């Protein structure tokens, strides 16, 4: 998980969000205006099953405002991601598969490496490794398959490199080493993310073409996984699966304060004190207070195991369909049980 699976030794809460849609909300707040951010283009699409937001960061200024690299960030939001709703999941799989192609162009025989980032021992961080276990891997069969089958599958390899606490090695080092041997045309990296709104946990999937930095958010410098470092394009697929304790308190403090204001005097000094705080400052203050106390806690839904399995299924199906010409919507769950 980008803010989760690496050691978060100092100041675990000085995180920014992994989600472009949240970064945009924060940036808008700071700009204290409803008008569009310069250099940031946003398109949305709503269906009965999901809400799709395409954030495109076009300029250096947009990148600075958003705190994220230039490029495309597509976020699919749906409460149905958490439910056992096969029909809705089919539609989501379809739109994800299409958007994988929209993010990076790659030839029909190009070799693709799928990397499941995260720690398989911690359920909400195990999303990436779970997706990898459901990918239809074919690279090693090239040349040994009958011609008619060979045409239905692209060469695909898949690895779960682990996290630094498990391997002693930076995830980026391991992947760079493998990329230099396998020479894929494209890397697809799946990772669990941290969100800044409890309501988004397991309810959003973000696709981007700007690379991913395992652990970057936590203040440690980490090797970025992107075109610059690896020499190939990178599609990152992420799902916010936890919030930290400070986020939970921050969110609920807002609810509680609103509630209380109704019962107390509006002009109270306490309210003014709080109101005068920037959103980010307030979060930071809470994080600082909580630090020694809950630094090691995270907040997760009770049914997290089942939900992570379901999300891994959805993502793996959409990757299998996006990559292999012969795998279609008819084959959903054929390779992912």
Of 123-142, binders to its own copies (CB under 8 A) are 123, 133, 137-141
Q: Is 170 a binder of its own copies (CB under 8 A)?
A: yes
Binding residues for its own copies restricted to 32-61, rule: CB under 8 A: none
Cβ–Cβ contacts within 10 Å for residue 294, how many? Answer: 18
The H or E element spanning position 156 is: strand 156-159
Binds its own copies by CB under 8 A, chosen from 28, 94, 309, 326: 309
Q: Is 335 a binder of its own copies (CB under 8 A)?
A: yes
Beta bridge partners of 193: 240
Per residue, the 3-state secondary structure of 117-129, as one string, reads CCCCCCHHHCHHH
> Which of 99/300 has CB closer to its own copies?
300
Binding residues for its own copies restricted to 70-89, rule: CB under 8 A: 84, 86
> Which of 149/289 has CB closer to its own copies?
289
d(CA 62, CA 12): 26
Q: Is 121 a binder of its own copies (CB under 8 A)?
A: yes
Pairing of strands 40-46, 51-57: antiparallel
| Alpha helix positions (H), 164-240 | 164-167, 171-182, 227-230
Binding residues for its own copies restricted to 4-23, rule: CB under 8 A: 4, 7, 9
d(CA 31, CA 22): 14
Binding residues for its own copies restricted to 235-294, rule: CB under 8 A: 245, 248-249, 251-253, 255-256, 259-260, 263-265, 268-271, 273, 285-286, 289-290, 293-294
106 and 152 Cβ atoms separated by less than 8 Å:
no
Q: Is 199 a binder of its own copies (CB under 8 A)?
A: yes
Find the part of the chain contacting its own copies (CB under 8 A) among 32-40, 186-194, 228-236, 308-316.
308-316
């Amino acid at each position: 998980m980008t803010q989760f699976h690496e050691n978060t030794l100092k100041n675990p809460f000085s995180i920014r969000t992994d989600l472009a849609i949240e970064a945009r909300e924060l940036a808008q707040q700071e700009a204290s205006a409803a008008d569009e951010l310069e250099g940031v283009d946003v398109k949305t699409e709503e269906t009965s099953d999901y809400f799709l937001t395409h954030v495109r960061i076009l300029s250096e200024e947009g990148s600075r405002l958003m705190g994220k690299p230039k490029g495309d960030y597509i976020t699919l939001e749906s409460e149905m991601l958490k439910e056992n709703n096969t029909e809705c999941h089919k539609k989501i799989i379809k739109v994800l598969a299409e958007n994988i192609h929209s993010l990076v162009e790659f030839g029909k025989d190009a070799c693709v490496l799928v990397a499941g980032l995260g720690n398989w021992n911690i359920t909400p961080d195990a999303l990436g490794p779970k997706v990898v276990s459901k990918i239809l891997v074919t690279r090693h069969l090239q040349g040994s398959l009958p011609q008619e089958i060979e045409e239905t599958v692209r060469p695909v390899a898949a690895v779960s490199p682990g996290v630094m606490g498990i391997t002693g090695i930076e995830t980026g080092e391991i992947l760079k080493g493998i990329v230099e041997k396998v020479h894929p045309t494209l890397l697809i990296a799946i990772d669990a993310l941290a969100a800044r709104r409890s309501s988004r946990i397991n309810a959003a999937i973000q696709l981007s073409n700007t690379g991913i930095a395992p652990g970057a958010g936590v203040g440690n410098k980490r090797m970025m996984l992107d075109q610059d470092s690896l020499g190939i394009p990178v599609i990152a697929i992420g799902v916010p699966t936890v919030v930290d304790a400070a986020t939970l308190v921050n969110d609920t403090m807002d609810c509680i304060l609103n509630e209380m204001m109704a019962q107390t005097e509006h002009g109270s000094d306490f309210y003014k004190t709080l109101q005068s705080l920037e959103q980010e400052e307030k979060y930071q203050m809470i994080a600082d207070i909580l630090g020694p106390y809950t630094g090691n806690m995270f907040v997760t839904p009770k049914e997290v195991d089942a939900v992570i399995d379901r999300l891994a299924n959805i993502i793996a199906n959409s990757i299998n369909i996006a990559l292999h010409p012969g795998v279609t919507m008819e084959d959903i769950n054929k390779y992912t049980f």
